[in-house]
Amino acid sequence: MHYQCQRCGACCQWPGQVRVTEAEITALSHFLKMDENAFIQKYTRLRMDRQGLALVDQDSGACVFYQANGCLVNPVKPQQCIDFPDHWNFPGFEKICKAKPIVDRAA
Ligand code: SF4
Ligand code: SF4
Protein backbone atom coordinates (compact mmCIF):
# COMPACT_ATOMS: atom_id res chain seq x y z
CA MET A 1 0.00 0.00 0.00
CA HIS A 2 1.15 3.55 -0.58
CA TYR A 3 -0.36 6.97 -0.07
CA GLN A 4 -1.40 9.54 -2.65
CA CYS A 5 -0.68 13.05 -1.36
CA GLN A 6 -3.59 15.47 -1.59
CA ARG A 7 -1.33 18.51 -1.22
CA CYS A 8 -3.17 19.79 1.84
CA GLY A 9 0.06 21.27 3.21
CA ALA A 10 -0.49 20.02 6.76
CA CYS A 11 2.87 18.23 6.95
CA CYS A 12 4.65 21.48 6.05
CA GLN A 13 2.92 23.34 8.87
CA TRP A 14 3.11 21.12 11.91
CA PRO A 15 5.97 21.49 14.43
CA GLY A 16 9.08 19.41 13.90
CA GLN A 17 12.35 19.58 12.07
CA VAL A 18 13.13 19.06 8.40
CA ARG A 19 16.61 17.55 8.20
CA VAL A 20 18.82 18.64 5.31
CA THR A 21 21.97 16.89 4.07
CA GLU A 22 24.94 18.66 2.50
CA ALA A 23 23.78 17.53 -0.96
CA GLU A 24 20.30 18.88 -0.28
CA ILE A 25 21.73 22.19 0.87
CA THR A 26 23.69 22.40 -2.39
CA ALA A 27 20.57 21.65 -4.44
CA LEU A 28 18.39 24.07 -2.46
CA SER A 29 20.88 26.92 -2.63
CA HIS A 30 21.38 26.43 -6.38
CA PHE A 31 17.62 26.36 -6.90
CA LEU A 32 17.28 29.64 -5.00
CA LYS A 33 20.37 31.05 -6.77
CA MET A 34 22.05 31.63 -3.43
CA ASP A 35 25.55 31.12 -2.15
CA GLU A 36 25.58 27.96 0.04
CA ASN A 37 26.94 29.74 3.09
CA ALA A 38 24.31 32.45 2.78
CA PHE A 39 21.65 29.74 2.47
CA ILE A 40 22.94 28.00 5.59
CA GLN A 41 22.94 31.26 7.54
CA LYS A 42 19.46 32.25 6.45
CA TYR A 43 17.53 28.98 6.25
CA THR A 44 19.10 26.40 8.55
CA ARG A 45 19.72 25.74 12.22
CA LEU A 46 21.45 23.03 14.20
CA ARG A 47 19.37 19.86 14.59
CA MET A 48 18.12 19.00 18.06
CA ASP A 49 20.60 16.09 18.19
CA ARG A 50 23.35 18.48 17.02
CA GLN A 51 24.31 15.96 14.32
CA GLY A 52 23.57 18.18 11.34
CA LEU A 53 21.30 20.92 10.04
CA ALA A 54 17.55 21.37 9.70
CA LEU A 55 15.43 24.02 8.01
CA VAL A 56 14.28 26.92 10.16
CA ASP A 57 10.59 27.55 10.85
CA GLN A 58 8.34 30.50 10.22
CA ASP A 59 6.91 32.20 13.32
CA SER A 60 3.79 30.05 12.89
CA GLY A 61 5.87 26.88 13.16
CA ALA A 62 5.47 26.11 9.45
CA CYS A 63 8.54 25.26 7.39
CA VAL A 64 10.34 28.33 6.14
CA PHE A 65 9.57 27.30 2.56
CA TYR A 66 5.86 26.71 3.00
CA GLN A 67 3.63 29.16 1.13
CA ALA A 68 -0.13 29.26 0.67
CA ASN A 69 0.24 27.73 -2.77
CA GLY A 70 2.62 25.00 -1.63
CA CYS A 71 6.34 24.39 -1.28
CA LEU A 72 8.59 27.11 -2.65
CA VAL A 73 11.34 24.57 -3.31
CA ASN A 74 9.19 21.65 -4.43
CA PRO A 75 11.49 20.47 -7.30
CA VAL A 76 14.38 20.07 -4.84
CA LYS A 77 12.61 19.46 -1.54
CA PRO A 78 14.51 17.34 1.01
CA GLN A 79 14.19 13.54 1.03
CA GLN A 80 12.42 13.69 4.39
CA CYS A 81 9.58 15.59 2.70
CA ILE A 82 9.48 13.21 -0.28
CA ASP A 83 9.34 10.16 1.98
CA PHE A 84 6.32 11.17 4.09
CA PRO A 85 4.01 9.34 4.62
CA ASP A 86 5.01 6.33 2.50
CA HIS A 87 8.41 5.71 4.05
CA TRP A 88 8.01 7.29 7.47
CA ASN A 89 5.04 8.45 9.50
CA PHE A 90 3.82 8.25 13.08
CA PRO A 91 0.87 6.78 14.94
CA GLY A 92 -2.29 8.75 14.16
CA PHE A 93 -0.83 10.69 11.24
CA GLU A 94 -3.97 9.92 9.23
CA LYS A 95 -5.90 12.29 11.50
CA ILE A 96 -4.02 15.28 10.05
CA CYS A 97 -2.63 14.02 6.74
CA LYS A 98 -5.19 13.77 3.96
CA ALA A 99 -3.16 11.39 1.76
CA LYS A 100 -5.32 8.63 0.33
CA PRO A 101 -4.28 5.02 0.94
CA ILE A 102 -3.84 3.21 -2.38
CA VAL A 103 -3.67 -0.56 -2.44
CA ASP A 104 -0.83 -1.70 -4.72
CA ARG A 105 -1.87 -4.53 -7.02
CA ALA A 106 0.60 -7.06 -8.35
CA ALA A 107 1.07 -6.77 -12.13
S1 SF4 B 1 10.72 21.89 2.26
FE2 SF4 B 1 8.78 22.10 1.20
S3 SF4 B 1 7.81 20.06 1.34
FE4 SF4 B 1 9.44 20.16 2.89
S5 SF4 B 1 8.40 20.84 4.79
FE6 SF4 B 1 9.25 22.65 3.75
S7 SF4 B 1 7.54 23.44 2.53
FE8 SF4 B 1 7.07 21.31 3.06
S1 SF4 C 1 -0.18 16.17 5.10
FE2 SF4 C 1 -0.35 14.36 3.77
S3 SF4 C 1 -1.79 14.92 2.13
FE4 SF4 C 1 -1.16 16.79 3.16
S5 SF4 C 1 0.56 17.56 1.92
FE6 SF4 C 1 1.44 16.31 3.56
S7 SF4 C 1 1.62 14.23 2.71
FE8 SF4 C 1 0.23 15.39 1.38
The pLDDT tens digits of the residues spanning 50-59 come to 999 999 999 9
pLDDT, tens digit, for every residue of 65-98?
A: 999 999 999 999 999 999 999 999 999 999 999 9
pLDDT score at 80: 97
Ligand 1 nearest atom to the CA of residue 74, by list position: 2
What are phi and psi for residue 28, nearest 5 degrees?
-65, -45
CA of 46 to the centre of ligand 2 (A): 25
User: Has residue 48 got a pLDDT over 90?
Assistant: yes
The response to whether residue 63 sits with its C-beta less than 6 Å from ligand 2 reads no
Nearest atom (ligand 1) to Cα of 67: 7
pTM of the model: 0.93
Query: How far is ligand 2, taken at its centre, from the CA of residue 35, in Å?
Result: 30
